[in-house]
Amino acid sequence: MSVLKVTNLTKNFGGIKAVTDVNLNIEMGEIIGLIGPNGAGKTTLFNLLTGIYVPTSGQIEYNLNTKVKTKDLKPHKMVHYGVSRTFQNIRLFKDMSVLDNVLLGFHSLLFKRSISRKDSFDEAYELLKKFNLLNKKDELAKNLPYGDQRRLEIARALASKPMILLLDEPAAGMNPKETKELKDLIFWIRNEYHLTIILIEHDMSLVMNICERIFVFDYGNLVASGTPKEIQNNKRVITAYLGEEAV
């Protein structure tokens, strides 16, 4: 079942063509990778998908609990629709504790009364345990090492029980050990929560190991899509982005 359909999506900033005529169809439960050089339009696509930017033209349609169309996309409504994200430049409440950051993620569910305050605490503890952060629950978010902050942001995003999780460079700043653990964590998240994950990432070891389909962007254009194997063998992608050593 398709959960996200993007049709002829274009975003221009004055003369800059950040995203040009992009078409995508993403199925429920997939782990999708968006790759491409700096400035290729990947984050702009995330910002379009979450209502931060309004498209210059084209359509975005989510098929979640309800159908959500381009005109309905507003940043503050996304968690209610079931779409949650993390940011390239981590956005935590830095002067709040680790636990409070995750508890804030339950806000939308508490608001809808679909979870009790007690259950939100229990679930926050469970998430922190799984994300290896329970022993740091009382520390201020700003005092955590970088890798922990990235995991905390994912934990908070999960608290709202999304159906689609968008991760913008989740491995950025992580060492190889943390990246490997992140890979296992992302698999676990998908299997545990049965959600769809779309990630932007420059770390090819992560992308090629974890993604089932990959979309490659260059200068705002979607230039290739396919399985990791297909992408690794795509001449245009090798020349424009991967380089020979990645193959």
- Per-residue mark of binding to ligand ATP, 7-36 (x: CB under 6 A): ------x--x-x-----------------x
DSSP reduced 3-state for 106: coil
Q: Residue 31: CB partners within 8 Å, gap ≥ 6?
A: 186, 187, 190, 196, 197, 199, 210, 211, 212
- Please count the helices (runs of H) and the strands (runs of E) in the chain: 10, 10
Of residues 54 and 184, the one with the C-beta less far from ligand ATP: 54
Of residues 17 and 137, the one with the C-beta less far from ligand ATP: 17
Q: Does 44 bind ligand ATP (CB under 6 A)?
A: yes
User: What is the Cα 188 distance to its own chain's centre?
Assistant: 15
Candidates 20, 26, 43, 204; binder of ligand ATP (CB under 6 A) is 43
- Per-residue mark of binding to ligand ATP, 143-182 (x: CB under 6 A): ----------------------------------------
Give me the phi and psi of 95, to 5 degrees please.
Answer: -95, 10
Give me the phi and psi of 215, to 5 degrees please.
Answer: -115, 130
Minimum CB distance to ligand ATP, residue 35 (Å): 9
Which residue type does 147 have?
G
Q: Which residues inside 67-96 make contact with ligand ATP, applying CB under 6 A?
A: 88
Candidates 1, 15, 38, 138; binder of ligand ATP (CB under 6 A) is 38
What distance in Å separates the CA atoms of residue 243 and residue 93, rounded to the nearest whole number? 38
The binding site for ligand ATP (CB under 6 A) comprises 13, 16, 18, 36, 38-44, 88
